[in-house]
């Protein structure tokens, strides 16, 4: 989703907030960042799109569809809004020797199949 699509996502507030949430979740995924945004930053972005929300009304909006499908329930004492799928990535790591061995094996397999042409 592109940022201009957020502005053109409909005249109603829920449509704009949904598009904004999808855009932010997509950006977090694209950049391998945590799927969250500061509450005040989300409010400022929504206000810049013409959606008048406050911290007081934010919890109600997030608890209703369509935002409840994308955002985790709002915690008033938290300073962040979290997106669904906000699980921490697994800490499976590979040391450099293992990585080099895997790359070497894959390169040899590709050469045998004639993929180097």
pLDDT for the residue numbered 115: 57
What are 52-100's pLDDT values in tens digits?
888 888 888 888 888 888 888 888 788 888 888 765 554 556 778 888 8
Q: Which residue has the tokens 């045998």?
A: 112
Is residue 111, in this structure, part of any structural domain at all?
no
* 10 domain residue, yes or no: yes
Q: Which domain holds residue 70?
A: 3-87
User: How many domains in the chain?
Assistant: 1
Place of tokens 């855009």: 23
- The answer to whether the beta carbons of residues 21 and 71 sit under 8 Å apart is yes
Note whether 25 and 70 are within 8 A (CB): yes
Tell me how far apart the alpha carbons of residues 89 and 40 are, in angstroms, rounded to a whole number: 26
């Amino acid at each position: 989703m592109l940022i201009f699509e957020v502005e053109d996502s409909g005249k109603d507030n829920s449509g704009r907030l949904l598009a904004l949430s999808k855009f932010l979740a997509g950006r977090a995924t694209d950049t391998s960042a945590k799927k969250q945004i500061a509450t005040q930053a989300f409010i400022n972005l929504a206000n810049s799109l013409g959606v008048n929300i406050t911290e007081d009304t934010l919890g109600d909006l997030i608890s209703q569809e369509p935002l409840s499908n994308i955002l985790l329930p709002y915690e008033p004492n938290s300073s962040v809004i979290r997106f669904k799928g906000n699980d921490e990535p697994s800490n499976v790591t590979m040391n450099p020797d293992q990585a080099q061995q895997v790359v070497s094996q894959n390169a040899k397999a590709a050469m045998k199949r004639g993929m180097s042409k």
